[in-house]
Amino acid sequence: MSKLRYGIVGGGEGSFIGVVHRNALALSGQFELVCACFSRDSGKNQRTAASVGLDAARVYDSFAEMAAAEAARSDKPDFMVVTTRNDWHFEACKAFLETGFHVMCEKPLATNTADALELKRIAKANDLLLAVSYTYSGHVMAMDARNRIRRGEIGDILMVMGEYPQDWLLDMADGKDHGIATWRIDPKIAGGSNCIGDIGTHIEHTVSFMTGLKIVKLCAVLDKVGEGTELDNNAAVLLKFDNGATGCYWCSQVAAGYDNALKVRIFGTNGAVEFDQEASNYLKVVKKSGPVEIHSRGRGYVTAAAAAYAVIPAGHPEGYHNAFANLYLSFAEAVKDKQNGTLKPLCEYDFATVDNGIEGVRFIEACLQSASAGGAWVDL
């Protein structure tokens, strides 16, 4: 089977997530990097290209130039990947969609709902796929949780608890590099939110992915801990879902002792599931009146559709890169189906769609709206 060709924006020397995307795309051996704009800094761009052995003729100092030049080639990429900071997502996705490329974009899809909706309009007008890389739904055991909930194992969902604590903004006071780009705390770049937009949105998507529930209203309290802090770095959100269930989300970048502790607990009338991304090879499953079970990825009882993504035996941990790789395998299937005229309804694939991306941006905006009204309930 021929490899799918892709181009990438971002992931230059010293950056975080673009490099993860490249590594993840390399894991399955099914993708080939053919063009890039790793950075707007020409030196960094060229050095990164040389380090990955990319043909210098297909390395561009702007994504607009890359979109135009690559669209004119007979061997053009099958899709483009956008891994820049939030403030460039809209322009980069727009440039690629308008020149005929399917796109995988980092979260949040855009810095406001109007831009996210415009991207959906452009994708639809050009008959293209636009996906959003919400990492955690790519884990085998997150997919297993979704499959179990879909087939009714825990009954009707009653309530959802989600948390995502980190402590890097407490640590910033030591002046050391903690490997996380500080544009996140700059309102000119990050948009109206830091913590909710950066990690709260991962809780929102992971729950949405597992349960299929839609948020109908929420109220949020956003804290700006520390002198001179301009954007939220700690947040608590109460939620109501379309089936009447309630939810409670907490995300923080000032919670001492926490790295990337995304944890989601879903409680139903017949049981519960609990997923912890720092122990992502396991899933806690409880059936009403039954024992508390810890399920292990790679075992025969994992639901078949999730187990199909596992690449190594139980006990050898799969992790962050594998989650991204799984999202790309599902996205690649959709791209190929699209090319062959056999695209299924998007709900039958495992990657986050443009509609999930729009929901994510709406969630961020609703939290900001609620917080600025003193924690008032806001309809979505």
Using alpha carbons, select from 231, 248, 281 the residue that is nearest to residue 111. Answer: 231
Hey, what's the torsion of the CAs at 304, 310, 311, 317, to 10 degrees?
-150
Stretch that binds ligand NAD, among 16-24, 120-128, 243-251, 359-367 (CB under 6 A): 16-24
Instruction: Mention every residue, 6+ apart, whose C-beta is less than 8 A from residue 13.
Output: 38, 39, 44, 47, 48, 51
314 binds ligand NAD (CB under 6 A): no
Binding to ligand NAD (CB under 6 A) within 185-204 occurs at: 198
47 binds ligand NAD (CB under 6 A): no
360 binds ligand NAD (CB under 6 A): no
Among 181, 248, 279, 305, binds ligand NAD (CB under 6 A): 181
83 binds ligand NAD (CB under 6 A): yes
Among 4, 6, 7, 12, binds ligand NAD (CB under 6 A): 12
Among 6, 31, 79, 88, binds ligand NAD (CB under 6 A): 88
Beta strands in the chain (DSSP E): 4-9, 31-37, 79-82, 102-105, 130-132, 157-165, 215-223, 234-241, 246-252, 263-268, 271-276, 282-287, 292-296, 352-353, 378-379
Min dist. Cβ of residue 31 to ligand NAD (A): 18
CB-based contact 275:264 (threshold 8 Å): yes
Among 39, 233, 277, 326, binds ligand NAD (CB under 6 A): 39
Among 85, 120, 284, 297, binds ligand NAD (CB under 6 A): 85
Stretch that binds ligand NAD, among 27-35, 83-91, 276-284, 326-334 (CB under 6 A): 83-91
* CA atoms of 10 and 193, how far apart (whole Å): 21
* CA atoms of 328 and 79, how far apart (whole Å): 11
Binding site for ligand NAD (CB under 6 A): 9-12, 15-18, 37-40, 63, 83-86, 88, 106-107, 133, 135, 181, 183, 198
